[in-house]
Amino acid sequence: MRVKSFLAALFAGFGVIGLGAAQTPPLAGPPIIAQNARLLPVLAQNGMVSSQERLASAIGVDVLKRGGNAVDAAVAVGFALAVTLPRAGNLGGGGFMLVHLAKTGETVAIDYREIAPAASTPTMFLNAAGEPDPQKSRDSGLSVGVPGTVRGMALALEKYGSGKFTLAQLIEPSVKLAREGIPVAEDLADSLPGAMGRMSRFPSSMAIFAKDGKALPRGSMLVQADLANTLESIRQQGPDAFYKGRIAEQIVAAVRETGGIMTVEDMANYKAVIRPAVTGRYRGYTLASMPPPSSGGVHLVQILNILEGFDLKAMGAGSAASLHALAEAMKPAYADRATFLGDPDRVKVPVKGLTSKAYAEKQRAKIDLSKATKADDIKAGDPLPHESDQTTHYSVVDSEGNAAANTYTLNFSYGMGLVAAGTGVLLNNEMDDFSAKPGAQNAYGLVGSDANSVHPGARPLSSMTPTIVFRDGKPFMVTGSPGGSRIISTTLQVITNVIDFDMNLAEAVAAPRIHHQWKPDALLVEPGLSPDTLKLLAERGQNVRPGAVSGSANSILLQGGWLQGAADTRQRGTAAIGY
Ligand code: GLY
């Protein structure tokens, strides 16, 4: 009963609640959304949260309504998703938050990516024959990076919160949800069965997520008492409760019992850092996105720079011509990713060159709009002369025009499937995002170079791309997505769908997406494109592979004094909620 009343209280009083459903545009004034729109975003005028899980969105909007800013709300949502979307929301993983403050105009990137334990070595994921051993990098204690989320959320709040909310206040709703339980519905019911294979090795995980050896059935309750206690400790004592003492010791014990090398010193030494955002310009808009150790922002800007020289609008949304141009622009960017990107604290990443218009011009000149370039014919370029599906994303905008874009992850769905006994914390397997060996593929088929090899204390290369697009210096769009290697291409297409093809946000998020990551040499296409289009792409030499591209680009757009929210309907339970 208490659960019901708590959940009911969360939803009570929202002026505008959109759960992917159409919202009636205002009657007076110029139309916010074209009258003939096929899909409608959620509309609101004050604040909005668009996330992958409804309860978490509601918690964030409640913070906004009580006077919190976008960062306060983003922190509350971050902790809530650790309870309500345990396959990706987390305490035991890491990620990136991009923050824009309206008052100062600054946009900063908070890097709370996991780090490699101090005892890590460049060869730790190789077998006796010197070949990559995916079992070690994805499925053993060695795969667990030192978690960054708790420090990241605390840093975001300390530096950029409104000052009206304490960390304790923002964690409180999550403690309640973990302790009282949430119904197994939507995403949980769909995703848990797939995780049973990995979880079934760990009684600590099965005790929480299974009953009688099977995934908790739809309609039952997921109660996470240990996680509630962990959250309560953080609530009372701050992030040190997670990184020092009992909880840290229990996490380290779980990692070491499964073959890992993490120590309590690794936990105690973890630091989240603030970095300057990567910036770019596209057709009169400016954008800020995530810098290394994510590759997301660099390559988003690089691909947009290449595309700027093509008239996508004239080619038409979803046409073979525009999809071919998108694919050809993605290929050289992903080739560069494999060569140049890594932890900026360890290697020099040529960000300026990779994101320069002059470099993009050279890469664009090699693109043939009538014929696909084979992956083997593309080599990483030379940016130096120009130098001067498991993750989750949410977007938040408040009434002052502050914005937060947050993407965080455990890497695989439910990470390694291992709950550190006594903590309720699911552990990541993020170490697989390092390059086990130059040229070896990770779980997403991405290849890397020595720039992304394993080193003590290094951060593995990511593709996470939380992004804010600006018009006239003010936030215009807040976006990003999960999807491993497809994060960059997904974020890209949401942006081009709005800027080039004039789609409203709901249409931009829902439109069928494509993905090409250079290697393997395959153009992945979502259902929804016509057979004729696919045939035309194949005739241009694209190696078309129909299949899931997916993602969950939970986004917000600011236009004409209104906020448009679109939660991605590719996943169950997503919700854009405004007021
Ligand atoms: N684990 C996926 C990424 O960080 O890109």
**Is pLDDT larger for residue 8 or for residue 556?**
556
Q: What is the pLDDT of residues 493-531, one digit of tens each?
A: 999 999 999 999 999 999 999 999 999 899 999 999 999
Instruction: Kindly name the residue from 391, 423, 465, 479 that is annotated as catalytic.
Output: 391
- Taking 90 as the threshold, does the pLDDT of residue 87 lie above it? yes
Distance 433 CA to ligand 1 centre (A): 6
Given a contact cutoff of 8 angstroms between Cβ atoms, the answer to whether 479 and 405 are in contact is yes
Distance 392 CA to ligand 1 centre (A): 10
Residue 453 pLDDT class (50, 70, 90 cuts): very high
Q: What is the pLDDT of residues 218-265, one digit of tens each?
A: 999 999 999 999 999 999 999 999 999 999 999 999 999 999 999 999
Mean pLDDT of 409-434: 97
Which of 289, 411, 490 is the best mutation target for the ligand 1 pocket, counting ligand atoms within 8 Å of the beta carbon and taking the most? 411
Q: Which atom of ligand 1 is nearest to the CA of 409?
A: 1
386-395 residues labelled b (16+ CB within 10 A) or e (exposed): beebbbbbbb
Q: What is the pLDDT of residues 142-168, one digit of tens each?
A: 999 999 999 999 999 999 999 999 999
**Angstrom distance (rounded) from CA 298 to CA 503:** 25
The CB density around residue 5, as the number of other CB atoms within 10 Å, is 10
Given a contact cutoff of 8 angstroms between Cβ atoms, the answer to whether 447 and 338 are in contact is yes
Distance 257 CA to ligand 1 centre (A): 25
**Angstrom distance (rounded) from CA 321 to CA 370:** 8
Q: Whose CA is nearest to atom 4 of ligand 1?
A: 462
Residues in Cβ contact with 216 at an 8 Å cutoff, skipping those fewer than 6 apart: 184, 188, 192, 209, 210, 222
pLDDT of residue 138: 94
Q: Which atom of ligand 1 is nearest to the CA of 430?
A: 1
Which of 87, 407, 409, 434 is the best mutation target for the ligand 1 pocket, counting ligand atoms within 8 Å of the beta carbon and taking the most? 409
Mean pLDDT of 73-97: 98
- Taking 90 as the threshold, does the pLDDT of residue 1 lie above it? no
Residue 31 pLDDT class (50, 70, 90 cuts): low
- Taking 50 as the threshold, does the pLDDT of residue 2 lie above it? no
Ligand 1 touching residue 462 (CB < 6 A): yes
Q: Which helix (H) or strand (E) holds 246?
A: helix 246-257
- Taking 60 as the threshold, does the pLDDT of residue 29 lie above it? no
- Taking 60 as the threshold, does the pLDDT of residue 6 lie above it? no
pLDDT of residue 447: 81
Ligand 1 touching residue 409 (CB < 6 A): yes
**Angstrom distance (rounded) from CA 321 to CA 207:** 52
Distance 88 CA to ligand 1 centre (A): 11
**Is pLDDT larger for residue 5 or for residue 128?**
128
Residue 192 CB-half CA count within 13 A: 26
pLDDT of residue 385: 57
Residue 444 pLDDT class (50, 70, 90 cuts): confident
DSSP 435-501: BSSTT-B-TTS-B--GGGB--TTPPPPB----EEEEETTEEEEEE----TTHHHHHHHHHHHHHHTT
Q: Which atom of ligand 1 is nearest to the CA of 433?
A: 1
Which of 149, 390, 391, 408 is the best mutation target for the ligand 1 pocket, counting ligand atoms within 8 Å of the beta carbon and taking the most? 391
- Taking 60 as the threshold, does the pLDDT of residue 22 lie above it? no
Ligand 1 touching residue 491 (CB < 6 A): no
Three-state secondary structure string covering 350-406: CHHHHCCHHHHHHHHHCCECCECCCHHHCCCCCCHHHCCCCEEEEEEECCCCCEEEE
Q: Which atom of ligand 1 is nearest to the CA of 463?
A: 5
Q: Which atom of ligand 1 is nearest to the CA of 464?
A: 5
**Is pLDDT larger for residue 564 or for residue 36?**
564
Ligand 1 touching residue 322 (CB < 6 A): no
pLDDT of residue 17: 38
Distance 138 CA to ligand 1 centre (A): 13
Residue 402 pLDDT class (50, 70, 90 cuts): very high
Q: What is the pLDDT of residues 291-337, one digit of tens each?
A: 999 999 999 999 999 999 999 999 999 999 999 999 999 999 999 99
Q: Is 391 part of the annotated catalytic residue set? A: yes
The span from the first CA to the last CA of the chain, in angstroms, equals 27
pLDDT of residue 13: 36
Given a contact cutoff of 8 angstroms between Cβ atoms, the answer to whether 73 and 60 are in contact is yes
pLDDT of residue 265: 98
Distance 102 CA to ligand 1 centre (A): 29
pLDDT of residue 32: 77
Q: Whose CA is nearest to atom 1 of ligand 1?
A: 411
Q: Whose CA is nearest to atom 3 of ligand 1?
A: 462
Ligand 1 touching residue 411 (CB < 6 A): yes
How many residues belong to the chain? 579
**Angstrom distance (rounded) from CA 153 to CA 173:** 15
Q: Is 18 helix (H, G, I), strand (E, B) or coil?
A: strand
Q: Which atom of ligand 1 is nearest to the CA of 113?
A: 4
Which of 334, 433, 434 is the best mutation target for the ligand 1 pocket, counting ligand atoms within 8 Å of the beta carbon and taking the most? 433
Ligand 1 touching residue 433 (CB < 6 A): yes
Ligand 1 touching residue 442 (CB < 6 A): no
Question: 368 has which bridge partners?
Answer: 371
Mean pLDDT of 471-479: 97
Q: What is the pTM assigned to this prediction?
A: 0.94
Q: Whose CA is nearest to atom 2 of ligand 1?
A: 484
The CB density around residue 536, as the number of other CB atoms within 10 Å, is 17
Given a contact cutoff of 8 angstroms between Cβ atoms, the answer to whether 269 and 256 are in contact is no
